[in-house]
Amino acid sequence: MQLEKGFAGVQAFLETHRVEDLVRIYLARIEDRASLNAFIEVYAESALERARSLDAQGPEGLPLFGMVLGVKDNIAYKGHPLGASSKILDGFESLYTATCLQRLIDAGALVIGRLNCDEFAMGSANITSYYGPVKNPIDPERVPGGSSGGSAAALAAGLCTVALGTDTGGSIRQPAAFCGVVGMKPSYGRVSRYGLIAYGSSLDQAGPLCQTVEDAALVWRFMAGPDPLDMTSSEGSVIDPAEIESKGPLRIGVLKQVMEMEGMHPEVREAFDAYIQGLQAKGHELVPLDFPYLDVLVPTYYVISTAEASSNLSRFDGVHYGYRSPEAKSLEETYILSRSEGFGAEVKRRIMTGTFVLSVGYYDAYYKKGMQVRRLIQQATDSFFEACDVVLSPTSPNLPFKINDTGKDPIQMYLEDLLTVQANLAGNPAISIPIPSKGKLPVGLQLMAPRMQDHKLFAWAKALG
């Protein structure tokens, strides 16, 4: 069907149909695939109202005319619920729209609903949500990845044209790999964080999940750019990826430690090795890279991210907004009971870990040391691009695992982020694209580029994909 071809298919559909017709098709699909639990809430009335408005206005001057968006439940949308898939924000309604989302709306997109995710974006399987786990549309017995699992599942099931997610340590790229779609994390600061519920402020970035690299580049172009409401956003100009072409063979960096990694799923290794060999056969140069910090990536990431989370989540106290325990009889009980009842087990675990690493007597041993190691990781990552254009790896060392296999060992779940957290710690742009696999489950290939070279990353992903 035309709509399965991404935004190009939508544009072809709208040559003979209305935006309202398009929205009704997506609404019917969402209802038909409700068992996936990808959507927390569907904005049927407001989406149809927006569609009718677009039909009356016409596509002139609206480059994203008719693009139907599903939005992760930690991205603010004015006048609509915002909950980060947590009980503690039950009933909260956003007072403004996130900059990255508003820019897409201004360009002609519309929002069809909010998407399920791991609670406060903490997870790698989309099983920590207050609203229950999301199922992978390729195999509903398996996870879609996390934390943007609802976004990846909705897109893969054809329930929207584009889905928005956030990526703190791989939360766009890993679910994109598990669901066989394209997912992109921009350079840190390239897309405004204003309007995102913060998990790790020095790590978070919003980005698109799409059917094609071309769609991801198009959406990124409108999301990106400086924002006076976000002091961490870059002031640099945004270069249109459509103006960039990948000319000639590329120098492709591959980490020796990844090539020698034990425990990688055989199907992932086979697909990755075959793909690398295919690129060499096309004339691309393979550049082995030494990265001695692979084993400390995950510990460093969790020290820093949990520290930032413990600070960011202190605002959810049962007093200002969201859930308040009905059993509380005093101010102290309001704080204690509301947070105890409102946060899920994984969020509590990370708040406690973050509070510990920031506490007196442990700050130097853990948080300060983590920041020092982060600097080494950034320096090592920068040095890669003196020898190569782009760094390739599998997006995840594993295939999508069964829902029943999750939740037993938190440490094992944290290791799902092994190949994705480097881009967040170093601030580099990275994208996951699906590659051929002999099995029935999808395998993702991750490409990482130098900081603020997002536009080139799209060109390289298109050339290598």
Contact 155, 167 (CB under 8 A): no
Q: What percent of the chain has pLDDT over 70?
A: 98
pLDDT at residue 408 greater than cutoff 60: no
Burial annotation 184-209 (CB, 10 A radius, 16+ → b, else e)? bbbbbbbbbbbbbbbbbebbbbbbbb
Contact 202, 424 (CB under 8 A): no
Cα–Cα distance between 47 and 29 in angstroms, integer?
A: 15
Mean pLDDT estimate for the chain: 96
pLDDT at 334: 96
User: Residues 6 or more apart from 83 whose CB is under 8 A from it?
Assistant: 40, 73, 89, 90, 92, 114, 130
Between the CA of residue 162 and those of 183, 232, 347, 434, what are the distances in Å?
A: 10, 26, 28, 16
pLDDT at 247: 76
pLDDT band at residue 407 under the 50/70/90 scheme: low
Between the CA of residue 346 and those of 73, 92, 123, 436, 445, what are the distances in Å?
A: 17, 21, 8, 34, 28
- Which among 150, 144, 146 is positioned nearest to 114, based on CA atoms? 150
Burial bucket for residue 221 (CB in 10 Å: 0-12, 13-18, 19+): buried
Scan for tokens 């309604």, then name that residue.
Answer: 93
pLDDT at residue 224 greater than cutoff 60: yes
Beta bridge mates, 242:
none
Cα–Cα distance between 184 and 190 in angstroms, integer?
A: 12
Strands (E), 18-151: 39-42, 68-72, 110-115
Contact 255, 295 (CB under 8 A): no
Burial annotation 84-102 (CB, 10 A radius, 16+ → b, else e)? bbbbbbeebebeebbbbbb
pLDDT at 420: 98
pLDDT at residue 403 greater than cutoff 80: yes
pLDDT at residue 415 greater than cutoff 80: no
User: pLDDT tens digits, residue range 256-284?
Assistant: 999 999 889 999 999 999 999 999 999 99
Burial bucket for residue 435 (CB in 10 Å: 0-12, 13-18, 19+): buried
Q: Taking residues 201-227, what's their average pLDDT?
A: 98
- Which among 180, 264, 151 is positioned nearest to 441, based on CA atoms? 180
Go through the domains of the chain in sequence order and give each one's CATH number: 2-243 (3.90.1300.10)
Cα–Cα distance between 230 and 97 in angstroms, integer?
A: 13
Between the CA of residue 97 and those of 81, 89, 106, 111, 177, what are the distances in Å?
A: 11, 17, 12, 12, 28
C-alpha triplet 227, 232, 233: angle, nearest 5°? 35
pLDDT at 1: 60
pLDDT at residue 81 greater than cutoff 90: yes
Cα–Cα distance between 458 and 187 in angstroms, integer?
A: 12
pLDDT at residue 2 greater than cutoff 80: no
DSSP string of 207-232, one letter each residue: EEEESSHHHHHHHHHHHBS--TT-TT
pLDDT at 416: 87
Contact 179, 138 (CB under 8 A): yes
Q: Taking residues 15-32, what's their average pLDDT?
A: 98
Q: Taking residues 132-139, what's their average pLDDT?
A: 98
pLDDT at 209: 98
pLDDT at 3: 78
Whole-prediction pTM value? 0.96
Q: How far apart are the first and last CA of the chain?
A: 22
Active site amino acids: 72, 147, 171
Q: At how many degrees (to 10) do helices 213-223 and 99-106 cross?
A: 110
pLDDT at 406: 63
φ, ψ (nearest 5 deg) of residue 58: 85, 165
pLDDT band at residue 300 under the 50/70/90 scheme: very high
